[in-house]
Chains A and B, each alone.
Chain A
């Protein structure tokens, strides 16, 4: 894993959330999803910054769309995970799983 491919904990969380939310990933939904799934309050600005950073690294891509009556008729910047991003999440998950396997197994039966 090269240095640029290294992800922080928060970055990984956001990347995963974008993956989960599929076609409805933008600032507010991500904040809400994190609150819902992890019960964790995050600030909107941190989410934005992180998403832009991830976009720059090539794990996310964004497109403008979905103007609605709410939010003053402004467009949303939707984020979508790229293939590299997907692969990275997968890779990280696998890496964690394989590490987890090396840990001494708890034996409840004994």
Chain B
């Protein structure tokens, strides 16, 4: 049997040896080995073979690292890169349109995704977020059901004692505005007002996770006078460079008399919290100062109850147990009306049924989903543009593909090349859009600062970016690459008119059609939303709100003094006080139920109640339909003024209503006047029965008509003089009322921005396409001109197609908008009526922009001198 040379050595040789030399070297080595076998014997021959192999391991024999199989691919990619790079620069216009369009789309998509994540992430950072529920209350009234995100205060303590199997129960009250005073360690006195003070019991930090800077999370809320500060409030109290540990135990006075002891400092609460606070104060103080609400079971004064259930399956079981058990505490009437439900923590922000906390906002899930869809559509439009332009350009590469194929490129190789090349564009756009969105996020935050929004990139979003990028690359690169790589080489090299009339054109047309349909949907929708918003802002509310400034009245007994001091200055003529402006703002309304005195108390109907004074009606230009105004400001009410809706609800004409006796929860009185209906709720809602009464309770707001800056200064001076212990703040009523349409304004602005972007992208695509088509047909245009075609004819010839496409798009877009906008408008009680001109205006705007682009572009081509385009022929 023949002895083979050592395998390992052979393999080693094969690995390192230059391929061109391997055959002869290996042959020589084996020949030597065979001779050695006969002359030295097996063992020595093998040893000599190994030694010889090792001797060959030297420069000149060892292959270099170029020219191996793996690295050959690297070379190929370098080639792709070079060709791709050259192509990007050769077609500067198309490349920049591609990059600009795609990066815009991706940026919008990224920002919206971050926004979406932020909005659905409300309070989701807590470890027990998925097991935490808010107790909500439904109250069945005679003609409607009321939904409360808050519950009666004693509920939490009762659940805690009666349901030992519920893992955790906690209770919060607020947020409230409170005044604080303290003395710093150096004796400096500090006074400040905190807008967001939440009173909570000792379990609160166990249910919600905070980032503790100092203090013990477990026991911080245990002391009866505990207060936990957020970092920014702590800085307000103790200055910038305070010692984080030394301030523990420091005393802060609540409203100037209750000493609170600082028991912990936490990082600022993220803005996407349902119940944000600057200070968390022990619930005991709330109990002490509000003995009635905190023990009352039938009222609802803004207490929030959270429960934690380790076992999520028990949610429904607990709900039914609570509803069986509640009769232990509620009176019979309340027991029938009130039912409790558990609402998962993650739904609090997006379920608009229960309303938001004062100063907060809610965004419904459907709006969030819509914005996400819109963003994805914009990305899609950008991708469609990209595909459109790249496939349109494909024919310019036909020859290259033909030659590559003729010299042996396989389809898969070409596919790789074009995918690589197109990915380069996509990656440049992605990089650009990451930079862009980073900067734009600040702008967005600024823009939405009224919501206190804090959007930011974080590491977790990297996965989001990768996902978006991946999807973008896959969708936008594959199709054009397939088109490019599948040219038939024979056709490509012989027939120049390869793709100008191929299947790509109809696809391009339908993509353009799709784009322009979306563009028109957005533009028309934006017009309608804008008009509705304008309607909200301009619709006559039934009272005048111009130049009205609202200020708080901290102390009821100084009202008369305040009024008289103010009017001493000639620039202030009218002053009125009351519980609030005619239209309910900032979710603050007084409510009551009303009935005839002889009716059962349970038959009460809901009414909105307003405390006013004798000046109120003239101040707001509210007209009396019958009867008279109040004659004097009284301590106890004995007269009512009601609105028209109220009279109608009792089937009275305004005159019949006069002198009727009415009973409300607070007592009985006679109707002395009926006023014309004014919008006592924002325009999303109906006008409800309203009772105006003249009483000395709840006169917490003062309204001043201010005609000039001097008046405003005077107001501030007087106020500060009369209420030295409080902090001055004022707001214009018009601005405050606008906030009621905040969400609608937000949607409008969103749509405005989105539709501008969509138009921009659509135009970019159209421009690129036209630029390319006219370039490709330069010769054709030249020949046409030589044959006698006029500029107008040529322009017509080129832009006709796009004008037709835009018109078809309008026909598709209009019914879509009609359907969705109709649904949206139906959610408001007072809304504009859709009319045909809104649609036509939208269609017109888009057609003008779209066709002017195609006309300008074709005009440029048509005006060129045919000599220039034909002289090479």
Contacts and interface: CB of A to CB of B under 8 A. Distances in A.
A45 B61 contact: yes
A49 interface: yes
Contact of A28 (B23, B31, B55, B60): B31
Contacts of A75: 23-24, 27
B30 interface: yes
Nearest to A46: B55
Contacts of A46: 55
Given A43-B52, A48-B25, A75-B24, A70 B61 contact: no
Contact of A71 (B31, B55, B60, B61): B31
Contacts of B58: 45, 49
Interface string A82-108: 000000000000000000000000000
Given A49-B58, A71-B34, A44 B26 contact: no
Contacts, number: 64
A8 interface: no
B56 interface: yes
B34 A70 contact: yes
B60 A44 contact: no
A93 to B, nearest CB: 28
Contact of B55 (A44, A53, A74): A44
A76 B55 contact: no
A49 B55 CA distance: 11
A41 to B, nearest CB: 12
Given A45-B55, A45-B56, A49-B61, A74 B21 contact: no
Nearest to B4: A72
A54 B857 CA distance: 66
Nearest to B27: A74
Interface string A39-69: 0000111101100110000000000100000
Nearest to B57: A45
A71 B28 contact: yes
B169 interface: no
B23 A44 contact: no
Nearest to B56: A45
Contacts of B24: 26-27, 64, 74-77
B245 interface: no
A72 B56 contact: no
A74 B30 contact: yes
Contacts of B56: 44-45, 48
B29 interface: yes
Contact of B61 (A27, A48, A72, A74): A48
Contacts of A43: 52, 55
B52 A71 contact: no
B32 interface: yes
A53 B59 CA distance: 11
Contacts of B27: 71-72, 74-77
Interface in B1-60: 21, 23-32, 34-35, 52, 55-56, 58, 60
B23 A64 contact: yes
B31 A70 contact: yes
A77 B25 CA distance: 8
B52 A28 contact: no
Interface string A18-36: 0000000011100100000
Contacts of A72: 26-27, 30
Nearest to B26: A74
Contacts of B21: 48, 52, 77
Contacts of A31: 32
Contacts of A27: 24-25, 28
Contact of A53 (B23, B32, B60): B60
A45 B331 CA distance: 107
B525 to A, nearest CB: 76
B293 to A, nearest CB: 99
A16 B566 CA distance: 123
B30 A44 contact: no
A46 B52 CA distance: 10
Interface string B50-86: 0010011010110000000000000000000000000
A81 B13 CA distance: 28
Contact of B32 (A28, A52, A77): A28
A52 B52 CA distance: 17
Contacts of B34: 70-71
Contacts of B30: 70-72, 74
A72 B10 CA distance: 12
Contacts of A70: 30-31, 34
A44 B52 CA distance: 7
Contacts of A53: 60
B25 A49 contact: no
A45 B58 CA distance: 9
B52 A74 contact: no
A43 B32 CA distance: 11
A3 B539 CA distance: 100
A77 B31 CA distance: 13
Contacts of B61: 45, 48-49
Contacts of A77: 21, 23-24, 27
Contacts of B23: 64, 74-75, 77
A70 B30 CA distance: 8
Nearest to A77: B24
B56 to A, nearest CB: 4
A77 B20 CA distance: 11
A76 B28 contact: yes
A72 B35 CA distance: 13
A52 B59 CA distance: 12
Interface string B573-611: 000000000000000000000000000000000000000
8 contacts: A26-B28, A48-B56, A49-B61, A52-B21, A52-B60, A71-B27, A74-B24, A76-B27
Interface of B: 21, 23-32, 34-35, 52, 55-56, 58, 60-61
Q: Which are the 5 A-B pairs with shortest beta-carbon distances?
A: A74-B27, A77-B24, A27-B28, A45-B55, A71-B31
